[in-house]
Amino acid sequence: KLPMTMLLQVHDELVFEVDKKFVDEGAALVKKEMEGVVDLLVPLTVETSHGRNWSEAH
């Protein structure tokens, strides 16, 4: 279990708060879980980004 909290969902985006030490591990976990949530005929791809605030993450 990682020390991260989902703060917000905006359309097709999820925003998490996570300690800097766990950013890469947390992003990999979220990507894996979101891409594998359902089996489809087409791939469900997820992109991740991070920053100290919402603006930096974009």
Q: What pLDDT score was predicted for residue 1?
A: 84
For 1-58, the fitting CATH number among 3.30.70.2860, 3.30.160.20, 3.30.70.20, 3.30.70.370 is 3.30.70.370
Mean pLDDT estimate for the chain: 95
Say yes or no to pLDDT of 39 above 90: yes
Sign, CA torsion 14/17/20/22: negative
CB neighbour list of residue 22: distance below 8 Å, 6 or more residues apart: 2, 3, 4
Tell me the C-alpha distance between 48 and 32, whole Å: 11
Q: What is the DSSP letter of 5?
A: E
**Which regions of 1-58 does DSSP assign to beta strands (E)?**
4-10, 13-18
pLDDT (tens digit, 9 = 90+) per residue, 48-58?
999 999 899 98
What's the predicted TM-score (pTM) here?
A: 0.85
